[in-house]
Amino acid sequence: MDFLFDNVTIEGGFIKEKQNLNIETTIWAVYNRFKETGRFDALKCLWKEGCEDIPKPHFFWDSDVAKWIEAASYVISKNPSKELEDIIEQAIDDIEKNQWEDGYISSYYTVVKDEQRLTNRDRHELYCIGHFIEAAIAYYYATGKDRLLKIMEKCVDFVYKVFFEEHSAAFDTPGHEEIEIALLRLYECTNNKKYFELAKYFLLTRGKSEKDIHHRPDLEMKYFQSDKDVYNLETAKGHAVRASYLYTAMAHYAKLSGDEKMLESCRTLFNDIVNKKMYITGGTGSISRTEAFTYDYDLPNEVAYAETCAAIALMFFSQKMLHVENKSVYADIVEKCFYNGMLSGISVDGEHFFYVNPLEIRLLNRTRSDNIKDESKRSERYPITQRVKVFNCSCCPPNVNRVLASFEQYIYHKNEDVFFVDQYVKSTYDDGKIKVITDTLYPVTGDVKIKCEGVKKLAVRIPAWCDNFALNASYEIKDGYAFIENPDEIELCFELKPKLVSANPSVFAVSNKVALMLGPVVYCSERIDNIVDNCKLYIDKNIKAEIEYSDEFMLNTVTVKGYERKSSDALYENFNEEFTETKIKLIPYSVFANRGESDMAVWLNYR
Amino acid sequence: MDFLFDNVTIEGGFIKEKQNLNIETTIWAVYNRFKETGRFDALKCLWKEGCEDIPKPHFFWDSDVAKWIEAASYVISKNPSKELEDIIEQAIDDIEKNQWEDGYISSYYTVVKDEQRLTNRDRHELYCIGHFIEAAIAYYYATGKDRLLKIMEKCVDFVYKVFFEEHSAAFDTPGHEEIEIALLRLYECTNNKKYFELAKYFLLTRGKSEKDIHHRPDLEMKYFQSDKDVYNLETAKGHAVRASYLYTAMAHYAKLSGDEKMLESCRTLFNDIVNKKMYITGGTGSISRTEAFTYDYDLPNEVAYAETCAAIALMFFSQKMLHVENKSVYADIVEKCFYNGMLSGISVDGEHFFYVNPLEIRLLNRTRSDNIKDESKRSERYPITQRVKVFNCSCCPPNVNRVLASFEQYIYHKNEDVFFVDQYVKSTYDDGKIKVITDTLYPVTGDVKIKCEGVKKLAVRIPAWCDNFALNASYEIKDGYAFIENPDEIELCFELKPKLVSANPSVFAVSNKVALMLGPVVYCSERIDNIVDNCKLYIDKNIKAEIEYSDEFMLNTVTVKGYERKSSDALYENFNEEFTETKIKLIPYSVFANRGESDMAVWLNYR
């Protein structure tokens, strides 16, 4: 495979449990919803105008199915399943049957003739094709079967002809990025330079094409990352998922091409996101409408968008940067996104999903009335408070499926000289020459044992959250990794204690508040665990905490010393500081809203 | 006059200066805008469909002109002006000429025949008539001329016939309350019981009529205070100005009728507002759309509505309650509204107005982009940041005119036994039997001298903001007033020092923040006066302040010891408390936005 997936086996611990849940429950939950809603059958292209038996397909449905196939393929790689394979084979039959003679694939445009194919930049055609390419690659690596791969190569040849040779589509670059990622992976899989050329074309044409301007006249071009060329983007703008998919492809391109200017652009964008536009959970996109990046330090909690897919997209971008630069900051962000803003997208039971991941819930605020009877016309909109089984726009669930099923790829990486341990997971890497066995309960504890065979130089990440660690070997720190020559049995101990984190004071929404972290895990207070509303709780700044492992969450919960703010019934009174001591129970942010509706807050007052 | 206006002369100080500005500038500024926009000429009823020379009138224009006439009449009472009188006489000519044979008056329905008169409850017909009644009363008291009064009595006879006798209008009670206030005043002016009966009918029918339901099917009935009858309203709901106008009439009715149940209803509503739904500035209405009350403690700063008229309406309601109950809390709220949420509605130059009075401005937040090109379609709406000369919906400016021009009525009141000093203003009360002379620079200082002649029992309000006071006579405190028998020369000293106020911790928006008050005046920080963004400023909780009188504002400014929060460039970092000491300059809230656009905040962090 084009990454380290094949050589890695996850052996146990939190992530193994999440993977098992994915295999046993989540992948089927998503499949069943997609089957029920007609997404799989849409590949048969049977819908016609006036047809009432079959749901009319949506133009993004292909991408949902494709991501599911990709995820199922990762599952098959590690846990062969005839049942999953049969579903995929059926889907491939349908795709093959309905591929246009020229190679074009779209279950939407094949049946819904509302406009010509490739005339509307915002109709996700290349986005869907991109996901089919990634599915084809994953299925090929998992099974050795190249039927879908060949179908997609034929399709890409068509895209190449239309976009690269003829420029005959109504636009030059896709409205929703993704095919750029897929084409670079296809290039690595097939070694066919044409795919690299096409990806490069899409990347370098972006923001410079007059044909790309007029497809959504209501939206600013920055929404599509099309206001500037990729070398001059400067700040993360527009739709957060689209943007981060683009940056992922840019980073991959920079690695493959050695284009230093492109890499510099990626660095600028990465730093802009993580230093100015990222929630503490790794979520991005702080405005609901257009699901987009906004201005620096604008990170409201209650109306956060922080789409599950955006956290995943930032993982992708960070991982690509890690493989170019070998700096721990990138693996830190992968970890932050995974344990917080991405995992919050899925319920503990593995069957329910959040698309939007707010950092605060105030149920009372949902009653805020502007006296408009029709709720859909009210001025206030808030994210839902409970995960649901299915969304109309269902990009997030299969994205969670594929990240969980392929977490192996995030754990290790290597270059000519060094073997890097990026994520701490109980797992084995074995490529025949090198064998590395990691034993740990991380992030439940901070202790990690690593046994190495055939490794000349080992680099272990010192997580950004860790202020103290012990290591039983001599090491040198560089770029956030501890480098150890000729390692044998390494024992690492990251001091895991609850700590308070503050945001830059420019973050208005959390000015004068703190969040609690334990290792990479961000915590929150749910009203149901505590005696008063979150806004009346104050954490003692000299933190005194009890840690308790939760079987339900498979992570630690933390109870800290705190205070409840007291007051008279008056609306305003002379300033005073009347508090009573109390305990505040905090749970991992990722598991909020698993025990019914409740107020929730990541950021709390302190004293 | 039906209040204490006539016997009072304001002699100097802050309010005298504001009154002079009103006479010299504001009343003319408003007149000129109304003249320019066609509001005065609309009374001539010359507009026709297709007519391009004359602006089409709006259905609320009559109320704007009426409020201006009322204000100008108060001005004339104290400062006779042929110029103002000529304008009013011309207006009366036009009104008289265009009064319908049956008595009906509406410059809108007389020319715009878009629907039948009295068929649409939300078209402000009775609201406009109510304001004309109040104008007529004021002009009659000011000049002794009763032409407009007679016109309005004829009009009210028509309203009486249609609503009270025939029930022939399409609705039973007005969509926008105001005529109830006017009718009770007209009753007091004429002693004609019919007007009292009609007011009573409107009050007691409200919330019980099936005919009142269907005129704005998009809105909930609570918007119109029509979801329940007036004895069972329980909480302040719906449009804040409409609601408070209703409550004003209810309180007046309770006084006139001795209806204890109505008074209890008024008490409940008053307490609900001031204990759960009022900004520290006296503003109410915390949601922009429908300009309405929302749930308890929902008082967001940046998107506060807090319409200038709502602060005025709460003054009216409080003043009526004061005259029923003689409790200082009502006068405290009059004071709070006047010095803060009402005065913020007008610029220091007297020519510019706010309709909406936010308690915080963050200019950067105005750049928050949802990528929609058309600004009018963006999801975020914020109040304007600079006062303007004219609004399309221009209820606030003439409301400011009439409150400023009639502030005499708020200063004193009396019952059989007691003479009350409610507001501290350099002024004289003289009714031939009783003479009271107040000498003070309040609220610039807390020293007040009161000379009494013919007063058996004096009651002086001890303001709610005052923690310590001295009084050179023996007194008893009751209901917030100090009662003094046979007063002569009273010297009062209210300790005037800056103090920090906190809100009930249930007020989410200002959880863990403080506001500074000096006397009744609420302060704010404007970015232009201080070194960093407001969210990085922390006031020292052991307040150390310098007070300086500002000629520009005619009030004190306050500079306090504070801190600037420091941080690294990181978005998140281990909690720390790095501060540098600084000074924070605060100005009265009412004068914010008089020196160009700036960030502003009433509520600040403390430490």
The shortest C-alpha distance from B523 to chain A (Å) reads 14
- What pTM was estimated for this model as a whole? 0.95
Whether residue B310 has pLDDT greater than 80: yes
Tell me which DSSP letter residue A290 carries.
Answer: T
Residue A51, pLDDT score:
87
CB contact under 8 A, A502 and B573: yes
B370 interaction partners in chain A (CB closer than 8 Å):
287-290, 292
Whether residue B380 has pLDDT greater than 70: no
The shortest C-alpha distance from B53 to chain A (Å) reads 36
Q: How far apart are CA A132 and CA A158, in angstroms?
A: 14
CB contact under 8 A, A504 and B374: no
Bridge-based pairing of strands B537-539 and B605-606 is parallel
Contact A501, A529 (CB under 8 A): no
Which residue is associated with the tokens 């959390």? A510
Amino acid A333 reads I
Q: What is the pLDDT of residues A522-572, one digit of tens each?
A: 999 999 999 999 999 999 999 999 999 999 999 999 999 999 999 899 999
Whether residue A184 has pLDDT greater than 90: yes
Whether residue A380 has pLDDT greater than 70: no
Residues 52-81, chain B, touching A (beta carbon < 8 A)? none
What is the average per-residue pLDDT within A105-132? 96
Residue A32, pLDDT score:
96
User: Which band of pLDDT confidence, cut at 50, 70 and 90, is reported for residue A1?
Assistant: very low
Write down the mean pLDDT value for chain B. Answer: 96
CB contact under 8 A, B502 and A572: yes
Per-residue CA distances from A4 to A7, A326, A486, B335, B407 (Å): 6, 15, 21, 72, 80
B571 closest CB neighbour out of A278, A295, A511:
A278
CB contact under 8 A, B499 and A219: no
Would an 8 Å CB–CB cutoff place A472 in contact with chain B?
Answer: no
Q: How far apart are CA A72 and CA A546, in angstroms?
A: 40
Which residue of A lies nearest to B225 if distances are taken between CA atoms? Answer: A371
Contact B401, B68 (CB under 8 A): yes
CB contact under 8 A, A298 and B368: yes
Whether residue A61 has pLDDT greater than 60: yes
B304 interaction partners in chain A (CB closer than 8 Å):
none
Query: In Å, how far from its chain's centre is CA B64?
Result: 15
Query: In Å, how far from its chain's centre is CA B373?
Result: 37
Contact B450, B437 (CB under 8 A): yes
Would an 8 Å CB–CB cutoff place B218 in contact with chain A?
Answer: yes
Pick from A466, A449, A467: nearest CA to A458: A449
What is the average per-residue pLDDT within A446-471? 98
Residue B131, pLDDT score:
98
CB contact under 8 A, B575 and A606: yes
Q: What is the pLDDT of residues B284-309, one digit of tens each?
A: 999 998 999 999 999 999 999 999 99
Whether omega before A443 lies within 30 degrees of 0, making that bond cis, reads yes
What is the average per-residue pLDDT within B163-192? 97
What is the average per-residue pLDDT within B524-541? 97
Residue B478, pLDDT score:
98
Residue B1, pLDDT score:
45
Q: How far apart are CA B416 and CA B434, in angstroms?
A: 12
Residue B217, pLDDT score:
85
B505 closest CB neighbour out of A223, A377, A536:
A536
User: Which band of pLDDT confidence, cut at 50, 70 and 90, is reported for residue B214?
Assistant: confident
Q: How far apart are CA B136 and CA B1, in angstroms?
A: 12
pLDDT cut 90: percent of chain B above it: 93
Q: What is the pLDDT of residues A253-288, one digit of tens each?
A: 999 999 999 999 999 999 999 999 999 999 999 999
Whether residue B372 has pLDDT greater than 90: no
Pick from A77, A76, A95: nearest CA to A85: A76
Per-residue CA distances from B516 to B279, B499, B509, B534 (Å): 14, 6, 16, 14
Which residue of B lies nearest to A533 if distances are taken between CA atoms? Answer: B506
The shortest C-alpha distance from A370 to chain B (Å) reads 6
Residue A379, pLDDT score:
67
Secondary structure (3-state) at A475: coil
Residue A393, pLDDT score:
80
Amino acid B184 reads L
The shortest C-alpha distance from B491 to chain A (Å) reads 26
Whether residue B2 has pLDDT greater than 70: no
Residue A322, pLDDT score:
98
Whether residue A39 has pLDDT greater than 50: yes
Whether residue B234 has pLDDT greater than 60: yes
Secondary structure (3-state) at A143: helix
**Token couple for B434:** 């009783």
Whether omega before B80 lies within 30 degrees of 0, making that bond cis, reads no
B222 closest CB neighbour out of A297, A371, A505:
A371
CB contact under 8 A, B501 and A280: no
pLDDT cut 90: percent of chain A above it: 93
Residue A2, pLDDT score:
47
A291 interaction partners in chain B (CB closer than 8 Å):
none
Residue A368, pLDDT score:
86
The shortest C-alpha distance from B512 to chain A (Å) reads 7
B575 closest CB neighbour out of A298, A502, A573:
A502
Q: What is the pLDDT of residues B84-139, one digit of tens each?
A: 999 999 999 999 999 999 999 999 999 998 899 999 999 999 999 999 999 999 99
Predicted-assembly ipTM surpassing the 0.90 threshold:
yes
CB contact under 8 A, A576 and B502: yes
User: Which band of pLDDT confidence, cut at 50, 70 and 90, is reported for residue B3?
Assistant: low
Residue A378, pLDDT score:
72
Would an 8 Å CB–CB cutoff place B375 in contact with chain A?
Answer: no
Tell me which DSSP letter residue A115 carries.
Answer: S
Q: What is the pLDDT of residues A192-213, one digit of tens each?
A: 999 999 999 999 999 999 999 8
Which residues make Cβ contacts (< 8 Å) with residue B602, sequence separation at least 6?
B280, B281, B301, B359, B360, B515, B522, B523, B524, B589
Q: What is the pLDDT of residues B170-182, one digit of tens each?
A: 999 999 999 999 9
Q: How far apart are CA B368 and CA B464, in angstroms?
A: 40
Q: What is the pLDDT of residues B29-60, one digit of tens each?
A: 999 999 999 999 999 999 999 888 899 999 99
CB contact under 8 A, B372 and A294: no
Pick from A143, A4, A148, A146: nearest CA to A76: A143
Would an 8 Å CB–CB cutoff place A575 in contact with chain B?
Answer: yes
Residues 517-546, chain B, touching A (beta carbon < 8 A)? 533, 535-536, 538, 541
Tell me which DSSP letter residue B160 carries.
Answer: I
CB contact under 8 A, B572 and A280: yes
Q: Rounded to 5 degrees, what are φ and ψ at B291?
A: 50, 50
Give A295: exposed, middle or buried? Use CB within 10 Å, 0-12, 13-18, 19+.
Answer: middle
Write down the mean pLDDT value for chain A. Answer: 96
Helix (H) or strand (E) holding A307: none
CB neighbours (10 Å) of residue B585? 18
